[in-house]
Every structure is written in C-alpha cells, then in structure tokens.
Structure 1
Amino acid sequence: MPLLFQWSISHERRPVSASMIRKSLDETLRASGITDSSGQPLLFQPHDFRRMFITEAILNGLPPHIAQVIAGHRNINTTMGYVAIYPTDALEAHRAFIARRRDLRPAEEYRAVTAEEWQEFLSHFERRKLALGECGRTYGTDCIHEHACVRCPVLIVTLDEKPRLEEIRDNLQDRIAEAEREGWLGEVEGLSTSLAAAEDKIAQIEAQQEKKQSSVFLGLPSLAQLTARTSEATK
C-alpha cells in the first residue's frame, strides 16, 4: 500500500477513493470559513496541491529539473507551467540553491582547469574511437573488458561497421569448426561466446537499418478536416 491516502477498514488497509478525498477537501474548506473574493467557499481539487508543492519547492531552492523528476513530467516546460511564479523568480531561486551547494563543496573543485587536464579530457574521446565502432566508457575509466570489444556491451555500433562485423562472425565460425575438429573444447567455448556477441552486434545494426528504412504512417485527414481546409482556402 504505497499510497498517501489510505484508511483502516475491518483491520485492512484500503485506499481512499478520489471522490472521498474531494468531499473531505470541500468539507474542510467550508469548516475553515476561508472564502474567495466573492465571498464563496474556496474549492480545491487534489491536483491543485501538486502546483502548490512545486511552487513552494522551487521558491525554496529546489532545482526545476529535480521538481520535474518528482512530478513525473516528461518536459520541464510542463513543470514550469505548474509554478505560480515568474520565470525570473525560479531562476533566482535556482541560482541561490547552486550558491548554497557550492559553499558546501571543497574550494579546489572550482579551480581553473589546466591546459594538460583539458587536453587529457579531449583525448579521452579520441581513445573511444575503435575499428568496430565507438566505446561508450565514461571519462577517466579504463577498459574493464580487456579490449575484447566485440564482446563489450558498451560498444556503440553503426551501419558502417556491419561489413567488418560480418567478417569477424564468419571467421569465428571457421575457427569454431576447426576447434571442434581438433577437439579444442576450451577454444570452442571462448569462441562461441565471441560469436554470440558478434551476432548480437549485427542484429543491433540490422534493427537500426530496418528502423531507418521503415515508413511512418502519418494518418489520413478526415472529411471534416478536408472540408475545413477547403473553406479556409476559399475565404
């Protein structure tokens, strides 16, 4: 029962219905005596409290992108639309939050980057370029797969690498046949692992190719839409 609104009925935890929550809100507002500018009791919907929470959180320094994650929005513009403040207020609150966080961090983390450090950072991306594609390892980390790139799950392959991977796959199949013929069972096991990884990489490329070549159905306009467009064109 990971629910905010729940109650106990016959020693069993049950969720409170949406209609009951709305009814309780209305009764609480009437009992409070709070009214709007026209003297009528205020009316709140449960969804209004999301707006209140996000507004208060951002005004108190919560970064908007964190509020976006909490609210479950795909687009940060949706989150900012919930905020009942001006964008400048949100920016100032975010800057204040960053300043407070920066005061808590060691000062050496904010020193100027040296030319050697910057060059090392740039060369990291050059080292990611491989014959079979591009390595997806993060900055400052070494290869933990002993450069067995065809087996590596972070190898990023594109359509251009397909011929090379197919050559590797065919060669592995020949080597497996030779190992089985000679009775090199340990060799068969290792080569089979590499073969499965190579076939998986080829399947990824084929999936990319199929997606790239597939057509997208944009739908057909309805008769009402066609009529509306025709009438607008004749005006």
Structure 2
Amino acid sequence: MGFAGAALRPVVAARPLRFTPHDFRRIFATDALRAGIPPHIAAKILGHADLNTTMGYAAVYPEDTVSAHRAAIARRRQLRPGEAYRELSPEEWEEFLGHFELRKVALGVCTRDFGAPCVHEHACVRCPALRPDPAQHGRLTEILANLRDRLAEAEQQGWHGEITGLEVSIAGAERKLHTMSEMTARHGPVHLGMPDFHGVVGRLKTDKEETACS
C-alpha cells in the first residue's frame, strides 16, 4: 500500500534556474539597498545616470515594507517628547470625544481638527471646513433666501458694515449649494430604464396567418 500510494503522487521534475548577466545586476542592486547603501552610491556603482533606474532594479519584498514602516514609526517616537505618550486623564478623554460631538452641525459635518479654534465663530455657511450634507439642501436654500432679504434691508437702511458681512455669507452659501448639487449628481441613483423585450418575444399570429398556416 505504501508503494502504491507513493506511485499515485505526481512527480514534479526539477528544472534548473537560468540566470543572465543582467539578473546579477538586479540581485546586486537589491542586496546593496537592503544592506543600507544609499541609492545614489548604488547608482554610481551600477553606472546609472538616472536614480530611478537604480530604484527600478531593486526588488521590494513585503517584509521590507513592514520593516521600513516600523522603523519610520520608531524614529518619529524618538523625536516626539515622552509626555506625548502618557495615559490620558478621564477629563482629557471626554474633551476629545466631545470634539467629535461638536462637529455635527445642521448643514453637515465640521472637519475642523481637534484643538483647532473655530476661526469663523461658528458661522458655518462661510467656513470652508464645513462638509455639507446634500439632504440639507432645502434648509440651506431657506438660509440663502433669508440672507438676501437681510442684504436688501441693509442696503435700504444704509448699514454698510452689515452689507459686507452678508455678502460674504451669501457667497459662502452659494458655494455650499453648488457643492451639494455636485455631491448629489456624483452619488445619485443611476436610472437604467425599463428593459425592452419586443425583439425577443414572439408576436401573436393573426387570424389570416393562422388560416394560411393551416
């Protein structure tokens, strides 16, 4: 049984590897760069005028990618002060979570970074950090109409200080409406239409055709 089982297993013929002189240049480039030789030095050794040619010779293995990423993180941690890695207090953690709660606004989501002040004093219509929600298109349309009414009143009353601020808000609201329309067009439903089967479905025979066939 043992010999029979062994006979049923396929035998894969060993094929020798074939190398060309150019393959050894690529192997040298890969080993040299992995050993830490600067790329421009390896390029001089290989006689390359362009550094990109040398980098194209080197093979990048998955373990090289992981090792380089870990080394980069280790270097950044050495440069960062040690107190940056201390445990957060409950108050600091609550402040961090509260920042994301404050990013939810009526017209969309505020993309302001944690710890950054609101430079527009929560006038989200003007702020470029607001990512508008297309579902709030109607709300923003009402806000824009109200701003235009206020601008007309300010011009009638001669409130020049109000006019400047309202014009900035109106321009910001118009940009947000344009962004909402673009997002709706980009992510909206695709209407494929109704399929037409007239070309493949057999039509009913008329009475004259039935008589002719019989």
Range class of TM-score, shorter chain? 0.5 to 0.7
Give the TM-score, by structure 1 length: 0.54
Q: Measure, in 1, the Cα distance between the counterparts of 2:74 and 2:85.
A: 12
C-alpha displacement of 1:162:
1.1
C-alpha displacement of 1:207:
1.1
C-alpha displacement of 1:89:
4.5
Query: In the alignment, does 2:173 pair up with 1:198?
Result: yes
Give the aligned partner of residue 98 of structure 1. 73
Q: Name the % identity.
A: 48
Give the aligned partner of residue 22 of structure 2. 42
Identify if the C-alpha distance between structure 1 residues 98 and 147 changes in structure 2 by more than 3 Å, giving closer, same or farther: closer
Say which SS state the counterpart of residue 84 (structure 2) adopts: helix
C-alpha displacement of 1:188:
2.2
Give the aligned partner of residue 181 of structure 1. 156
- Among 124, 128, 151, the residue aligned to 2:126: 151
- The residue type equivalent to 1:127 in the other structure is L
Matches within 5 A, 1:122-133: 122-133=97-108
Segment drifting more, 181-190 vs 127-136: 181-190
Say which SS state the counterpart of residue 42 (structure 1) adopts: helix
Give the aligned partner of residue 198 of structure 2. none
Identify if the C-alpha distance between structure 1 residues 172 and 44 changes in structure 2 by more than 3 Å, giving closer, same or farther: farther
Say which SS state the counterpart of residue 98 (structure 1) adopts: helix
- The residue type equivalent to 1:162 in the other structure is H
- Among 33, 36, 51, the residue aligned to 1:56: 33
Q: Measure, in 2, the Cα distance between the counterparts of 1:190 and 1:85.
A: 56
Identify if the C-alpha distance between structure 1 residues 88 and 174 changes in structure 2 by more than 3 Å, giving closer, same or farther: same
Q: Measure, in 1, the Cα distance between the counterparts of 2:170 and 2:60.
A: 58
Give the aligned partner of residue 144 of structure 2. 169
Which runs of no fewer than 5 residues in structure 1 stay unpaired? 1-36, 61-70, 72-78, 218-235
Say which SS state the counterpart of residue 22 (structure 2) adopts: coil
Say which SS state the counterpart of residue 149 (structure 1) adopts: coil
RMSD: 3.8
Larger radius of gyration: 2
May I ask how many residue pairs the two structures share in their alignment?
158
C-alpha displacement of 1:190:
2.0
Say which SS state the counterpart of residue 125 (structure 2) adopts: helix
Q: Measure, in 2, the Cα distance between the counterparts of 1:44 and 1:212.
A: 51
Q: Write out per-residue CA displacement over residues 12-57 of structure 1, whole angstroms, 9 at most, x where no aligned residue.
A: xxxxxxxxxxxxxxxxxxxxxxxxx76x653799xx7xxx58x827
Which runs of no fewer than 5 residues in structure 2 stay unpaired? 1-17, 37-51, 193-214
Give the aligned partner of residue 40 of structure 2. none
Give the aligned partner of residue 115 of structure 1. 90
Identify if the C-alpha distance between structure 1 residues 200 and 92 changes in structure 2 by more than 3 Å, giving closer, same or farther: closer
